[in-house]
Amino acid sequence: MTMHKEDVIKFIAKLPDDVSVDEIMAELYFKQQVEEGLRVAEEGQVYSHEQVKNMVREWRKSSGRL
């Protein structure tokens, strides 16, 4: 979901008054990443726990760690 200017303004307005620009940017980036993750999950573009375990096992093997 894309945040529009009005959404961003409302989001920032909910933050504490003493929040810094860096903190605002970090919060906006975090929110964007969470929304992207939820979108991807809703579309079924996820790995099962078993698939991740197998991927980690393969990565460990390829790096010489067993």
**Tens digit of pLDDT per residue, the chain (66 long)?**
678 999 999 999 999 999 999 999 999 999 999 999 999 999 999 999 999 999 999 999 998 876
Asked whether the beta carbons of 8 and 28 are under 8 A apart, the reply is yes
DSSP 4: P
Q: Is the pTM of this model over 0.75?
A: no
User: What's the gap between Cα 45 and its chain centre?
Assistant: 14
Residue 16: its pLDDT value, please? 97
pLDDT at residue number 54: 97
Distances (CA, A) of 52 to 3, 47, 56, 61, 65: 31, 6, 6, 14, 17
Per-residue pLDDT at 1: 61
Confidence at residue 64, expressed as pLDDT on a 0 to 100 scale: 85
| Cβ–Cβ under 8 Å, residues 11 and 28 | yes
